[in-house]
Amino acid sequence: MWIADLPLGELMFSVLRHLMSFLWSPVYCLVAGIGESDRDREAEQVKNFQSLGLNRCAGLEALNAALSGLEAHPYSEDEEMSSEHLVLFGAISLRHKEFRSVFEIGTFDARSAVVLGRLFPNAIVTTIDLPQVEEVGNVAGVIPRSTQLLSARDERLSFAHNVRFIEMNSLRLTESENVGHCDLVWVDGDHTYPVSAVDVANAVRLLKPGGYLLCDDIIMKNSRLQGPYLSTAGFDTLSSMDNAQLLSSPTLIRKRIGRWHQYPPRYIAVCTRLMIE
Ligand SMILES: C[S@@+](CC[C@H](N)C(=O)[O-])C[C@H]1O[C@@H](n2cnc3c(N)ncnc32)[C@H](O)[C@@H]1O
């Protein structure tokens, strides 16, 4: 519907709601920052990594080693698409050099796939993203994949000898026969119902017993803001998988640490595929 088609009252309400959402974020971050510094959040993050048997500091070093040669500067959470998932990958790679099969749903610019390829040199990293024709009307259009982005992606992929890119809709994984094959699955495609729930279910199928499932942009309850990255689909589905004893209960790792990234509170969930008796 065009803005001109909206009744005046509805239009004013909509403008007001967006303005409030826009203003609420920095206010929340300021208030959340009182009594809790970036240092506190970093210390908490270190502990959460430890609870998974992971060393955040060493993970960060491993990540920066993987980034050197690819990029001019080390990891910064302020860069687009950068977040603690990359540090988690670094920390997991130090514990699991034996991984042979890593899977990513949502390639985007292939940066994360290439980093995964460097961190797990003994693995084949398979990464999938929508075919271009399926973008129209799909939530993927929220982050438009310009020709420039796609050529940057293809350029990156051309140098990554252990990364395999497949153009496919993740829903097609339902047909995959590669059950119980993956050591790690990174779920970062469509973040809303129903695709997000299907992606988690397919990730569970793909994983080996004990394998890691990492899921991006976990929100526990609906926030005042609205958008495709603010769905509780991932959290709800992981919780159901936990109840059904298919996955371990999710450990939630803050997506970013800095004060200005704290609204809405977003996490990366880390689970493991439970052993089948
Ligand atoms: C947030 S980006 C991924 C970022 C990347 N994984 C990273 O770690 O930097 C989400 C990507 O998922 C893709 N996507 C959305 N829906 C999808 C689907 N049904 N199947 C495959 N990919 C999908 C989008 O095209 C987009 O490139």
pLDDT at residue 3, as a whole number? 52
Q: Are residues 122 and 142 in the same domain?
A: yes
Q: Whose Cα sits closest to atom 8 in ligand 1?
A: 112
Are 28 and 262 within 8 A, CB to CB? yes
pLDDT at residue 8, as a whole number? 72
Encode pLDDT of 210-261 as tens digits.
999 999 999 988 666 566 677 899 999 999 999 999 999 999 999 999 998 9
Full-model pTM: 0.87
Q: Are residues 150 and 32 in the same domain?
A: no
Give the integer Cα–Cα distance in Å for 168 and 7. Answer: 41
Q: 5 C-alpha to center of ligand 1: Å?
A: 33
Residue 2 in any domain: the answer is no
Q: Are residues 32 and 141 in the same domain?
A: no
pLDDT at residue 20, as a whole number? 63
Give the integer Cα–Cα distance in Å for 160 and 178. Answer: 23
Paired with 253 in beta bridges are 268
pLDDT at residue 230, as a whole number? 78
CATH number for the domain spanning 131: value is: 3.40.50.150
Q: 136 C-alpha to center of ligand 1: Å?
A: 14
pLDDT at residue 145, as a whole number? 72
Instruction: Determine if the peptide bond prior to 131 is cis (ω within 30°).
Output: no
Q: Are residues 220 and 139 in the same domain?
A: yes
Q: Are residues 96 and 14 in the same domain?
A: no
Number of domains in the chain: 2
Tell me the chain's radius of gyration from C-alpha atoms: 19
Alpha carbon of 253 to those of 30, 73, 138, 265: distances in Å? 21, 24, 28, 11
Q: 163 C-alpha to center of ligand 1: Å?
A: 16
Q: Are residues 206 and 185 in the same domain?
A: yes
Q: Does residue 50 register a pLDDT over 60?
A: yes
Q: Are residues 123 and 217 in the same domain?
A: yes
Q: Are residues 65 and 192 in the same domain?
A: yes
Residue 277 in any domain: the answer is no
Are 266 and 234 within 8 A, CB to CB? no
Q: Does residue 38 register a pLDDT over 60?
A: yes
Q: Are residues 76 and 198 in the same domain?
A: yes
Q: Which candidate, 197, 270, 277, places its Cα nearest to that of 231?
A: 197
Instruction: Please give all residues whose beta carbon lies within 6 A of any atom in ligand 1, as ranges.
Output: 81, 104-108, 111-112, 128-130, 140, 143, 145, 169-171, 188-190, 195
DSSP state for residue 143 in the 8-state scheme? S
Average pLDDT over residues 167-185: 96
Q: 217 C-alpha to center of ligand 1: Å?
A: 12
Atom of ligand 1 nearest to the CA of 171: 19
Residue 191 CB neighbour total at 10 angstroms: 25
Structural domain including 26 reads: 7-36
Q: Does residue 66 register a pLDDT over 80?
A: yes
Residue 25: pLDDT band by 50, 70, 90 thresholds?
Answer: low
271 token code pair: 């689970």
Paired with 154 in beta bridges are none
Give the integer Cα–Cα distance in Å for 48 and 60. Answer: 15
